[in-house]
């Protein structure tokens, strides 16, 4: 095992990562960060020379999907570089240690490396019943997160659950789950929303941190602008079909086979902001819309509640049944008004023409 | 004598004294009115298609959604301009379209509203005849303009969702944060039906009141002129002078 103070360059060399692979990796990261290629030398230098920062990876109410997404990156350079960029001291899925010795490592990092290490959080933090819904080694998730995150240089919340509670927080949210930045306020946090997070973006944030010693620019939800600043609809490869009025109207119909726009099937591409169509998944193989399924806006805030029903354009109107669409309500209103004025007009017509005493007296006055 | 005329003509004749054709609705106000009618009609047609594209995959319409969105957005900008013009008229228009005429400020305004509601419920034979809007109509139009503002703001928020203009963002970026991007779209869509319903209701009420008060109400939105009996016009003038004098004293 390598010493924690090994430089990244040495670590990569010992893993057999060539300079050519490293240049490719750094170029990909620059592309993701939307930085010009003049930063390549600086990024290369930072990635090879930096002392490896210590990273701990906490998992709370999660499905390990974000860890899987990070580790299952089959492209050799990305996986190797990302794993070797940092000194991974604690990660429940992949670490060798267990039990007391594992807990001691976490404790040691939080105490001895105060303000110098990075922490990645995966999963939401339950707040109900004093947080008893998620405990590790007898400590609640909130307790661990408060200690580890507030002593870290920065917290990276990966996935929808760590961002804002995700699936766990969806109605009725039995565990009172919250995202990290809500459960532990006041910490320096960057949210890598998405279900799961895109490992390319998370790697880019790490490279940005190594190169510039700071986090990239963030939006109002603390998500990095380079990844969450643009609407999916505007980057979508099926946008031309949308503008031309070519839509899938039924799963498996002719338009679906031809790869037409999924707008009518409830695709949330026009609502969602993410670089999914550009970064894509599984080493740039595909992404949901290319695979023929509409976007569900998994990187948007509270997406389970806000973006459902996933296969309809608009949400259900509160107070009406789930089968009542906004169109039915609107047409009902219009029809009721039309019927109302018709009846009102008919009643008015059978009324005698108005000759009031006021009119008569007025007439009399004039005379 | 009255009853004799009625028997001959079936419909009652109404002596309204010496009447004067008054230029009540100034040209910019009529422009706003017909501009709203046309732009809202076009936006309802295109907007429904944008919500539910019912024409699919036609080869002879190669840029259908793009065209409809373009028309919708241009009409939206026209609506914004008309709204701003109407807002300007609140402070710079003739006395029947100024803010004082639109708000229930007069002491008898609430009584007037109640009397109008009684008229619509057939509890009163004639509407309250006014030179400009009656208090209930003024309230309805004020409410309509508030809804138009909601429609404009949600529309601009959707426009800026793709445009990312920081200046426009100052005005509209709080909306998706406040209600969520989906509820914003839902509001924008549902209000369309409110406007269509308002249109139906509005035409009905205008025909009804015009038929009952016989002052060329429907005609006035084309020509600007309403036929007003002299004594009522004098009363209206008198009130306007009192109001302006009161304002002078206050200053």
- Measured distance between the N- and C-terminal CA atoms of chain B, rounded to whole angstroms: 53
The answer to whether the Cβ–Cβ distance between A307 and B182 falls below 8 Å is yes
Pairing of β A54-59 and β A87-91: parallel
Question: Is residue A2 situated within a structural domain?
Answer: no
CB within 8 Å: B65 and A242: yes
Domain spanning B19-250: which CATH class is it, in words?
mainly alpha
Residue ranges per structural domain of chain B: 19-250
Residue B196 tokens, joined: 């269509």
Average pLDDT over residues B205-229: 90
Residues B97-106, mean pLDDT to the nearest whole number: 87
Question: Quick one: DSSP state of residue B127?
Answer: P
Q: Mean pLDDT, to the nearest integer, of A33-46? A: 88
User: What is residue B12's predicted lDDT score, i.e. its pLDDT?
Assistant: 64
Residue A113 located in a structural domain: yes
Asked whether residue A365 is domain-assigned, the answer is no
The minimal CB distance from A249 to the residues B14, B56, B185 is found for B56
> Would you call A7 helix, strand, or coil by DSSP?
strand
B136 pLDDT band, cuts 50/70/90, is very high
Q: What angle is formed at CA B86 by the lines to CA B155 and CA B116, rounded to 5 degrees? A: 100
For residue A339, tell me if it sits in a domain. Answer: no
Rounded percentage of chain A residues whose pLDDT exceeds 70: 91
Let me know if residue A23 belongs to a domain.
yes
Question: How many angstroms separate the CA of residue B162 from the nearest CA in chain A?
Answer: 7
**DSSP labels, A157-223:** EEHHHHHH-HHHHSTT-TT-EE-HHHHSTTS-EEEE-SSS--HHHHHHHHHHHHHHSSPPPB-TTS-
Span A76-83, average pLDDT: 61
Q: What is the mean pLDDT of chain A?
A: 86
pLDDT-derived band at A220, boundaries 50, 70, 90: confident
Asked whether residue A47 carries a pLDDT value surpassing 70, the answer given is: yes
In this predicted structure, the answer to whether residue A123 has a pLDDT above a threshold of 80 is yes
Does the pLDDT value for residue A264 go beyond 50? yes
Please give the pLDDT value at position B13.
66
Q: Which domain holds residue A178?
A: 8-228
Tell me how many domains chain A contains.
1
pLDDT of residue B177: 87
As to burial, measured by CB atoms within 10 angstroms (0-12 exposed, 13-18 middle, 19+ buried), residue A220 is: exposed
- Residue A183 belongs to a domain with what CATH number? 3.40.50.700
Looking at the domain assignment, is residue A283 inside a domain? Answer: no
Which residue pairs, CB below 8 angstroms and at least 24 apart, start in B200-207? Answer: B200/A334, B200/A337, B200/A338, B200/A341, B201/A337, B201/A340, B201/A341, B204/A341, B204/A344, B204/A345, B205/B120, B207/A345
Q: How far is Cα A191 from Cα A225, in angstroms, rounded to an integer?
A: 11
Domain for residue A98, yes or no? Answer: yes
- Any idea what the Cα angle at residue A64 is, between residues A59 and A68, rounded to 5°? 125
pLDDT of residue A363: 42
Does any domain span residue A133? Answer: yes
Assess whether pLDDT exceeds 50 at residue A367.
Answer: no
A358 touches chain B (CB under 8 A): yes
Instruction: Decide if B196 touches A, using CB distance below 8 A.
Output: yes
| pLDDT classification of A72: cutoffs 50, 70, 90 | confident
A348 part of contact set with chain B, CB < 8 Å:
yes
């Amino acid at each position: 095992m390598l010493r924690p103070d090994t430089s990244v360059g040495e670590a990569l060399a010992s893993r057999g990562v060539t300079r050519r692979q490293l240049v490719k990796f750094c170029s990909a990261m620059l592309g993701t960060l939307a930085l010009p290629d003049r930063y390549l030398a600086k990024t290369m230098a930072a990635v090879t020379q930096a002392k490896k920062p210590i990273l701990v990876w906490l998992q709370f109410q999660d499905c390990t999907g974000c860890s899987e997404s990070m580790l299952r990156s089959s492209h050799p350079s990305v996986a190797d570089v990302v794993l070797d960029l940092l000194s991974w001291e604690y990660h429940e899925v992949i670490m060798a240690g267990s039990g007391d010795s594992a807990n001691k490592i976490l404790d040691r990092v939080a105490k001895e490396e105060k303000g110098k290490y990075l922490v990645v959080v995966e999963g939401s933090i339950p707040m109900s019943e004093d947080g008893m819904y998620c405990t590790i080694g007898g400590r609640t998730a909130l307790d661990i997160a408060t200690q580890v995150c507030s002593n870290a240089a920065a917290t990276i919340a990966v996935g929808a659950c760590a961002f804002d509670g995700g699936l766990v927080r969806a109605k009725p949210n039995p565990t009172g789950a919250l995202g990290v930045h809500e459960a532990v306020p006041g910490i320096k946090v960057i949210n890598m929303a998405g279900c799961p997070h895109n490992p390319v973006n998370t790697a880019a944030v790490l490279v940005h941190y190594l190169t510039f010693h700071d986090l990239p620019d963030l939006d109002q939800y603390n998500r990095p602008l380079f990844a969450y600043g643009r609407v999916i609809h505007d980057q979508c490869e099926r946008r031309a079909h949308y503008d031309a009025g070519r839509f899938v109207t039924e799963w498996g119909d002719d338009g679906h086979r031809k790869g037409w726009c999924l707008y009518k099937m409830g695709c949330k591409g026009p609502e969602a902001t993410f670089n999914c169509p550009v970064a894509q998944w599984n080493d740039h193989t595909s992404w949901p819309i290319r695979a023929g399924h509409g976007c569900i806006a998994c990187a948007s805030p509270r997406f389970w509640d806000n973006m459902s029903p996933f296969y309809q354009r608009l949400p259900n109107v509160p107070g009406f049944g789930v089968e009542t669409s906004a169109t039915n309500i609107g047409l009902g209103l219009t029809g009721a008004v039309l019927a109302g004025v018709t009846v009102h007009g008919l009643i008015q017509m059978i009324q005698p023409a108005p000759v009031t005493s006021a009119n008569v007296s007025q007439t009399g006055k004039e005379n | 004598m009255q009853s004799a005329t009625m028997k001959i003509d079936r419909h009652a004749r109404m002596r309204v004294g010496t009447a004067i054709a008054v230029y009540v609705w100034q040209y910019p106000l009529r422009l706003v009115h017909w501009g709203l009618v046309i732009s809202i009609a076009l936006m309802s047609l295109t907007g429904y298609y944008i919500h539910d594209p019912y024409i699919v995959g036609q080869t002879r319409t190669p840029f259908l959604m793009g065209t409809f969105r373009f028309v919708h957005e241009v009409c939206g900008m026209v609506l914004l301009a008309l709204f701003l013009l109407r807002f300007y008229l609140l402070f710079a228009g003739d006395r029947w379209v100024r803010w004082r005429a639109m708000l229930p400020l007069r002491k008898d305004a609430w009584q007037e509203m109640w009397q109008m509601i009684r008229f619509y419920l057939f509890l009163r034979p004639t509407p309250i005849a006014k030179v400009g809007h009656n208090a209930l109509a003024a309230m309805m139009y004020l409410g309509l303009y508030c809804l138009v503002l909601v429609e404009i703001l949600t529309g601009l928020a959707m426009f800026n969702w793709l445009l990312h203009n920081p200046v426009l963002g100052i005005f509209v970026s709080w909306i998706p944060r406040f209600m969520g991007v989906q509820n914003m779209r839902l509001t924008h869509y549902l209000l369309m039906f409110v406007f269509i319903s308002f249109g139906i209701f509005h035409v009905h009420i205008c025909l009804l009141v015009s038929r009952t008060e016989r002052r060329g109400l429907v005609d006035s939105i084309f020509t600007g002129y309403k036929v007003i009996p002299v004594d009522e016009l004098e009363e209206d003038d008198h009130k306007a002078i009192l109001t302006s004098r009161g304002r002078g004293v206050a200053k």
